[in-house]
Structure 1
Amino acid sequence: MIHLTVICMFIAVVFLFRLFFMKREMKRMTKQLQDYRYRYIEKKLDIEYFDRDIERLAVEINGYFDSMIEMKVEQKRTEETLKQAIANMSHDLRTPLTSILGYIQLLEDEHLTLKERAEYIGIVKRRTKRLQDLLNEFFELSIVESMDHELQFQTFHLNQSIWEVLMNYYDAFHERHLQVDIDMPDEEIMLYADPAAVKRVVENLVSNVLKHASGSVEISLKEESSSIVFTIRNKTDVMTEQDVERIFDRFYTGDTARNKKGAGLGLSIAKSLMNKMDGELFASLKNHQFIMTCQWKKST
């Protein structure tokens, strides 16, 4: 009986000690949480009393802290990106508008010759077309990135779609004196995707090449074991690795990614469309060759 009493007392003492230390640890954790909430001390919870359940609780709370910190960083990055977006959009729209207004003022001069007047009218038309293209790109990008924008998937001949796009740019390649080397298989490659979206992606990639390429352009399509790969490459002496890393960022203001010839939205639109088709669009720079690659998964 005495032994049983001693054992019970021992268990009670152990339990009380455990309860005491657990309560003290909970107070420490509460104090740390209050510091985090009210004093904005971004420090992870540390524990002195090692209990399995308390350790698990601390791990979960620290994981929540990490998520909150990441959310704050992402929110700040988003705010900075939005500010940059507004600045870039304002610049992109203001530049042609300022030019148009300037030439309209010149056209008010009664002493202009017919040749000068015709020249200025031509410039105004081109600037107006540029402004229209910019607005269309902004509008298209907003639609593509909208959650309500759904693609229409079907199986179609990818070779034929790409050839149709390339033939539309034949004159443009000729005017730019670009030597185009096209490598596509004779056998049909079938792709399950949105045909219109695929054509838009190819159009935007080709348009980018026409703006920046010089010399020769290589275009290829191939079917691999688990994917279909479309590649466009051109020579470049001005593009850097930083440009390549941010080439699809519509708010990037690098000279090569967003020069005077374009707003840089075409590649952003192409990237968004590829993501919606569960495909990939990435860029690389190798031996002064700028390479853009589209990759789709083969349908099973």
Structure 2
Amino acid sequence: MTSFFLATIAIAAVALIHLYLIKNEMKRIHAQLHAYNQGLTGKKIDLVFSDRNLEQLAAEINNLMDFVSDAKALRRRTEYELKQSISNISHDLRTPLTSILGYIQLLESDQLSEEEKREYVSIAKIRAKRLQVLLNDFFELSVIESMDYELKREMVDMSALVPDILFGFYDRMNERNREAIIQLPDEKIDLIGNESAIKRVVENLVTNAIHYSDGPIWISMESLDLTVALSISNEAKHLKASDLNILFDRFYTEDRSRSDTGTGLGLFIARSLMVKMNGELTAELLENQLVMKCVWRLDRG
């Protein structure tokens, strides 16, 4: 009887000690959480006393801390990108608008000849068209990034669409003295996508190649078992491997000081549209060649 009584007391004592240690550990957890919430520390919860339930609680709290930390980092990055976007939009819109207003003021002069007036009107029209392109890009960006924006999926004949798109660049390539080396398969290639989006993607990539290359442009398309790949490559002597990480960023241009470089939205819009179509757009630097590759997955179901 005495041994049973002693055993009961021992068990009770162990339980009380265990409860005491858990209570102290809870106080430590509370103090650590308070310091974290006050911004006094970024340290995660650590335990002195080992208990399975406390360990599970600490693990979940630490996971929540990671989530909060990631959310804060995303918010800071989003706020920074928003400020940069506003700054870039203001710069890009102000340049052609200031030019247009300047030529309008010149046209108000009575001392201009008819030839000078026609020249200034022509320049103002070019600047106005430039401004229109900028506004269209900004509007398209806002539409693409909206959460409820979805592309209508349809059967697209790539073997007919791609040559038609490339033919539309014939005059522009001649103006800039560009040579296009095109390799397209003879067989018909169909895929599930969005014709307007595909057209926009290809146009943006070809425009980028024409604008930033002084040499020929290589364009090829091939159909594999499960994918269709379209590659557009051009000479890029001044591009570095580190530039590939930011090539598809919003408003990225090789030279922000040049007014004719574009909004820097072309490649960003192209990649966003490819993602909407469950495809991918990648960039690779092979020696001095920048290779842009679009890949669409074929729907065999």
Q: TM-score, normalised by structure 1?
A: 0.95
* Distance in 2 of aligned mates of 1:180 and 1:207: 12
Structure 2 unaligned blocks of 5 or more: none
2:284 corresponds to: 284
1:250 corresponds to: 250
Q: Which amino acid aligns with 1:58?
A: A
User: Mean Cα displacement is larger for which, 259-268 or 22-31?
Assistant: 259-268
1:233 corresponds to: 233
The DSSP-based 3-state class of the residue aligned with 2:278 is coil
2:272 corresponds to: 272
Q: Which amino acid aligns with 1:113?
A: S
Cα drift, residue 2 of structure 1: 2.4
Cα drift, residue 130 of structure 1: 0.3
Cα drift, residue 256 of structure 1: 7.5
* Distance in 2 of aligned mates of 1:228 and 1:266: 22
> Aligned-pair RMSD on alpha carbons?
1.7
Q: Which amino acid aligns with 1:7?
A: A
* Distance in 2 of aligned mates of 1:41 and 1:292: 45
2:33 corresponds to: 33
1:105 corresponds to: 105
1:49 corresponds to: 49
Q: Which amino acid aligns with 1:196?
A: S
Deviations along 1:2-30, whole A, 9 cap, x unmatched?
23222222211111111010010000001
User: Mean Cα displacement is larger for which, 93-102 or 200-209?
Assistant: 200-209
2:197 corresponds to: 197
1:4 corresponds to: 4
Cα drift, residue 50 of structure 1: 0.8
Deviations along 1:239-277, whole A, 9 cap, x unmatched?
233432212212335417986231112222111111111
Cα drift, residue 165 of structure 1: 0.6
Structure 1 residues 50 and 259, CA gap change in structure 2 (3 angstroms) = farther
2:148 corresponds to: 148
Q: 1:231, 1:293 within 8 Å by CA — same for their partners in 2? A: yes
The DSSP-based 3-state class of the residue aligned with 2:229 is strand
User: Mean Cα displacement is larger for which, 255-264 or 221-230?
Assistant: 255-264
Structure 1 unaligned blocks of 5 or more: none
Q: 2:192, 2:299 within 8 Å by CA — same for their partners in 1? A: yes
Q: Which amino acid aligns with 2:267?
A: L
* Distance in 2 of aligned mates of 1:250 and 1:41: 34
Q: 1:247, 1:257 within 8 Å by CA — same for their partners in 2? A: no
Cα drift, residue 35 of structure 1: 1.0
1:92 corresponds to: 92
Structure 1 residues 193 and 46, CA gap change in structure 2 (3 angstroms) = same
Q: 2:158, 2:189 within 8 Å by CA — same for their partners in 1? A: yes
Q: 1:243, 1:257 within 8 Å by CA — same for their partners in 2? A: no
Q: Which amino acid aligns with 1:110?
A: D
Q: 1:81, 1:251 within 8 Å by CA — same for their partners in 2? A: no
Equivalences, count: 300
Q: 2:210, 2:217 within 8 Å by CA — same for their partners in 1? A: no
The DSSP-based 3-state class of the residue aligned with 2:54 is helix
User: Mean Cα displacement is larger for which, 255-264 or 288-297?
Assistant: 255-264
The DSSP-based 3-state class of the residue aligned with 2:255 is coil
The DSSP-based 3-state class of the residue aligned with 1:148 is coil
* Distance in 1 of aligned mates of 2:74 and 2:153: 33
Structure 1 residues 12 and 31, CA gap change in structure 2 (3 angstroms) = same
Q: TM-score, normalised by structure 2?
A: 0.94
Q: Which amino acid aligns with 1:155?
A: M
